[in-house]
Chains A and B, each alone.
Chain A
Amino acid sequence: MSTHHPTDATLAAYAAGTLPEGLAMVVATHLHFCPDCRRMDRVMEATGGNLLSDLAPAAMAPDALTRVLARTAEAEPPERPAPILQSGLPPPLARCEFGRWWPVAPGLRWRPMKVSGRAWAGLLVVAPGRSMPKHGHDGLELACVLRGSFVDASGRYGAGDIAEPEGDHDIPPRVDSDDPCVCVIATEGVRMRGLLGSIQRMLGR
């Protein structure tokens, strides 16, 4: 059972579909682990449905219904489920495309996820005892632990927990599990310091 959850603002943005894709993938990963947040997601979706019902209608084109009815006769484009690409990862990450692993620092490996939108995302593997790179935040950052655990000033994060830090990390999160800690991370803007910062600047992100 997870003990760290996304904020309501983040869950609302997820249900409303305004969260950038990378961040939404991290929230969806947490939902896979957390029945409470799945409940809340449904509350949010029902809220969206109610808000939709309450909107003042906007006039449709006069032939809108005729046009849609005409199109119902068209052959339906075949709907193929996205293939499972990473059987070791929980849904929906299992169906996401990833780049190659990059050794970014001693005890630190990064694998970018192919997502569109203003957030970037990927998997981060950190060796036991190591710390996450020091960084500050310009926008929303979300991390969901898949395996292992880490600790920071706000507590301990195990499998399924989501970290939604605000502002800069005073103490960078440190892995306290015996095995490497695997996280899926997405961020709208991170200013890395040190080695990872130079890589970030080299890659132009």
Chain B
Amino acid sequence: MNGQTLRFPRLAVPTDPPPRRAIGRVRHFVGFRRMSQAERTIAEPDHADLIRAIADRSDREAFAALFAHFAPRVKAWMLRSGATDGSAEELAQETMLAVWRKARLYDREKAAPATWIFTIARNLRIDAVRKERHPDTLLPDPADEPDMPAQADQLLHTADTATRIRHAMASLSADQVEVVQLAFFQDKPHSEIERTLGIPLGTVKSRLRLAMARLRSALEDLA
């Protein structure tokens, strides 16, 4: 499949919230162009259009395209964090079902599709595998959100963020990528990461800190 066949027209929908800040939109489009240049794989905004198509007209074809991309990756994540093939398959399916059901809640201004699906899968995994909760799942009501300086928080949500982080990640050393991957995909305390990598905990922590400092700085001029 390629980006062309996956592109769906962006529809004007009455429920579409009016753009709050022109600048957010502009950045969004800048992010779109950069992404297409930088990435030969399917660009994120296409995925956002697919989610929109599911929300607007229960578009099964759009869902199939999204499923083909994300379900096998969510499953790969679950396998990496120690799930059996059966439960990894089930969690990947549950995640995609939740994507269908929550499509109307997706806001492309707030998160890139991969980020949104990542958090859905994360919360389902905690619930199913560990019988625990992520605090996010206790905050269903937007009225709960503290009053925050909207702009600083909001700008970070755009697809541009995902692109910038992608570029920053590409600049990390192999060692740094390894600790970031372990921190995200292994359900283990840091002391066990230390054992897995065979390097001292202090080194794991400082590598992670350096990697995160680089990701943070990639966004600094957005603030």
Q: Do A and B bind each other?
A: yes
Residues of A bordering B, CB below 8 Å: 7-9, 11-13, 15-18, 20-21, 24-25, 27-28, 32-33, 35, 38-40, 42-53, 55-61, 64-65, 67-69, 71-72, 76, 79, 81-82, 90-92, 95-96, 115-117, 139-140, 188
With contact pairs A42-B157, A68-B96 given, residues A52 and B89 touching in the complex (Cβ less than 8 Å)? no
Are A42 and B122 within 8 A (Cβ)? no
Query: Could you tell me the distance between the alpha carbons of A39 and B181 in the complex, rounded to whole angstroms?
Result: 20
B183 sits at the interface (CB 8 A): yes
Are A65 and B64 within 8 A (Cβ)? yes
Report chain B residues within 8 Å CB of A7: 205, 209
Query: Could you tell me the distance between the alpha carbons of A39 and B113 in the complex, rounded to whole angstroms?
Result: 18
Report chain B residues within 8 Å CB of A27: 135
Count of chain B residues with a beta carbon within 8 Å of a chain A beta carbon: 84
Are A48 and B188 within 8 A (Cβ)? no
Are B75 and A46 within 8 A (Cβ)? no
| A89 nearest CB across to chain B (Å) | 12
Query: Could you tell me the distance between the alpha carbons of A42 and B212 in the complex, rounded to whole angstroms?
Result: 12
Are B100 and A17 within 8 A (Cβ)? no
Report chain A residues within 8 Å CB of B208: 8-9, 12
Q: Quick one: closest B residue to A119, CB to CB? A: B132
Interface string of B144-162 (1 = CB under 8 A from A): 1010110011001100011
Are B122 and A61 within 8 A (Cβ)? no
B114 sits at the interface (CB 8 A): yes
Q: Quick one: closest A residue to B210, CB to CB? A: A8
Query: Please, could you name 17 A-B residue pairs with CB atoms under 8 Å apart, sorted by A?
Result: A9-B209, A12-B208, A17-B123, A17-B125, A18-B184, A20-B132, A43-B215, A48-B119, A49-B162, A52-B121, A53-B73, A57-B72, A60-B72, A65-B67, A72-B58, A76-B101, A82-B137
Query: Could you tell me the distance between the alpha carbons of A57 and B73 in the complex, rounded to whole angstroms?
Result: 5
With contact pairs A12-B212, A38-B153 given, residues A52 and B134 touching in the complex (Cβ less than 8 Å)? no
| Interchain pairs with CB closer than 8 A, number | 204
The prevalent SS among residues of B at the interface is helix
| B157 nearest CB across to chain A (Å) | 7
Query: Could you tell me the distance between the alpha carbons of A11 and B115 in the complex, rounded to whole angstroms?
Result: 16
Report chain A residues within 8 Å CB of B139: 91-92, 95
10 smallest A-B Cβ distances: which pairs? A57-B72, A49-B115, A28-B135, A49-B114, A92-B138, A17-B122, A81-B140, A8-B212, A21-B132, A58-B76
Query: Could you tell me the distance between the alpha carbons of A61 and B75 in the complex, rounded to whole angstroms?
Result: 11
